[in-house]
């Protein structure tokens, strides 16, 4: 999709026109067809939030679709509300088979159109055009929006470009997660990461099974050994400040499919398990975005990618593993596999890449979905200053997060009677005990844990999202890294 900007609204250039308006404010209609006022009156459009008026007006030999969108009262408007209202409008017109659509900001005061506001709304509009329809022959044939034009002052061009850019990286993550598991194997994740790194000029190294074995990454390997697909360890390096020894590690969970292993999932829970690599998708998307932004900081993205399957080789409940760190792990649940891959990936980050800060991101627990639903990611950190950092970053990224507790009580849940630690603390407080397990491998480094099990994949559509992958975490990680680079 081509994205352009224009200072003036020329109605002859577009098949669809979106005009957001405030409640109690008469929209300016000088450049619009005479019938517009009549249609607005017929639709009883008053600009109330979540209200709209959609109608068609003939122009020469075509029909132009007009969609007036209510923003509600001006003093009550937030960036998130604007994203939902305007993004939803773009999603509506994206289904109308229109080649060219304009989004007019002419009814919104310049004082409201900050860089953050424009960037965020443009991001939402770009994400609203996403459709994973490659396997739907009739849907593929439908006309998609080819050109999306924003009508606003040309002083906002950079904000528009930034919004489009981050949306592209979020879309990359969505495509990775939405791809069926029979087509997105560990080797395919490597292929995508390779293309991203080559385009971004990022250094990349891929470790095959034999090399992983030499590093004694037995927790990771145990998860992978039930599958015929060999695991891969992907390492992506962005060196933005070669003079510094500080290195931020972004560690993404990369289970391209999770059957649960011998602690097998029910069928309904398996259907969406292609999404269990949402953390790795977020890291790949974020590394692309970080390279574009070029902050003065060193970042290493690490992904331990594999499948968790059942076979005669698969690991079993009751097994005891020795992780790369040397800690022994009692396996009490083979469906608590993601934390095992993260444990070795974090150890690798510290021991081999000399990471000084750790951020892991993962679709780790059903418990976080029960606690927070699909709108929030659960965040765990021991340090208040790190929480403040990620909270500020989440606001800039317009991603919702919630701090979950971690203390000795949750660490005790993971205590084993036969090994150093066990891989599940049970059902109660599952998000925090899982986070505490991961934290046991961070060697005291500053650490943030992000559980996106709810926010990474939607069961039903939302204002500017279709059902399926969301790309949760891409923008958040990017903003966090930029924050630390200041």
Residues 361, 279: contact at Cβ < 8 Å?
yes
Cα–Cα distance list, 314 to 255, 264, 298 (Å): 15, 12, 37
339 is catalytic: yes
Residue 213, annotated ligand binder? no
382 is catalytic: no
Indicate which residue of 265, 327, 352, 445 is catalytic.
265
Residues 168, 199: contact at Cβ < 8 Å?
no
Indicate which residue of 339, 357, 413, 422 is catalytic.
339
Residue 276, annotated ligand binder? yes
- List b or e across 374-403, with b for residues whose CB sees 16 or more CB atoms inside 10 angstroms: bebbbbbbbeeebbebbeebbebbbbbbbe
Residue 13, annotated ligand binder? no
Residue 253, annotated ligand binder? yes
**Which of 363, 365, 339, 337 minimizes the C-alpha distance to 469?**
363
Residue 169, annotated ligand binder? no
Residues making up the annotated binding site are 253, 258, 276, 335, 337
Residues making up the annotated binding site for Mn(2+) are 253, 258, 276, 335, 337
Just list the catalytic residues: 265, 339
């Amino acid at each position: 999709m081509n994205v352009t900007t224009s200072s003036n609204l020329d109605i002859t250039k577009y098949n669809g026109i979106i005009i957001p308006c405030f409640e109690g404010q008469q929209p300016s209609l000088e450049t619009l067809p005479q019938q517009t006022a009549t249609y607005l009156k017929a639709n009883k459009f008053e600009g109330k939030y979540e209200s709209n008026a959609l109608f068609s007006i003939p122009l020469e030999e075509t029909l132009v679709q007009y969609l007036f969108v209510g923003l509600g009262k001006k003093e009550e408007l937030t960036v998130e509300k604007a994203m939902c209202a305007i993004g939803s409008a773009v999603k509506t017109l994206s289904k109308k088979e229109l080649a060219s659509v304009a989004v007019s900001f002419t009814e919104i005061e310049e004082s409201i159109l900050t860089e953050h506001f424009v960037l965020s709304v443009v991001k939402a509009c770009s994400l609203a055009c996403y459709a994973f329809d490659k396997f739907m022959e009739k849907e593929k044939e439908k006309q998609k929006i080819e050109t999306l034009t924003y009508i606003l002052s040309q002083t906002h061009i950079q904000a528009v470009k930034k919004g489009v850019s981050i949306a592209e990286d979020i879309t990359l993550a969505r495509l990775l997660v939405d791809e069926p598991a029979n087509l997105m194997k560990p080797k395919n994740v490597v292929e995508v990461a390779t293309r991203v790194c080559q385009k971004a000029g990022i250094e990349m190294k891929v470790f095959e099974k034999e090399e992983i074995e030499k590093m004694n990454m037995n927790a990771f390997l145990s998860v992978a050994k039930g599958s015929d697909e060999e695991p891969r360890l992907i390492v992506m390096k962005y060196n933005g400040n070669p003079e510094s020894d500080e290195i931020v590690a972004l560690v993404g969970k990369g289970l391209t499919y999770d059957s649960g292993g011998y602690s097998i999932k029910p069928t309904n829970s398996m259907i969406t398990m292609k999404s269990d690599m949402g953390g790795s998708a977020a890291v790949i998307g974020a590394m692309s975005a970080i390279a574009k932004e070029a902050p003065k900081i060193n970042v290493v993205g690490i992904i331990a990618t594999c499948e968790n399957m059942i076979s005669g080789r698969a690991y079993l409940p009751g097994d005891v593993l020795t992780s790369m760190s040397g800690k022994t792990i009692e396996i009490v649940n083979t469906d608590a596999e993601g934390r095992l891959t993260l444990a070795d990936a974090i150890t690798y980050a510290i021991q081999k890449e000399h990471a000084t800060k750790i951020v892991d991101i993962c679709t780790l627990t059903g418990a976080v979905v029960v606690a927070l639903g699909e709108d929030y990611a659960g965040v765990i950190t021991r340090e208040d200053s790190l929480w403040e950092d990620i909270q500020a970053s989440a606001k800039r990224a317009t991603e919702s997060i919630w701090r979950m507790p971690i203390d000795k009580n949750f660490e005790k849940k993971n205590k084993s009677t036969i090994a150093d630690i066990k891989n599940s603390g049970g059902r109660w407080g599952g998000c925090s005990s899982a986070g505490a397990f991961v934290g046991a491998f961070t060697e005291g480094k500053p650490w943030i844990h992000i559980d996106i099990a709810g926010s990474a994949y939607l069961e039903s559509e939302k204002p500017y999202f279709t059902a399926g992958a969301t790309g949760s975490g891409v923008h958040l990680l990017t903003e966090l890294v930029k924050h630390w680079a200041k």
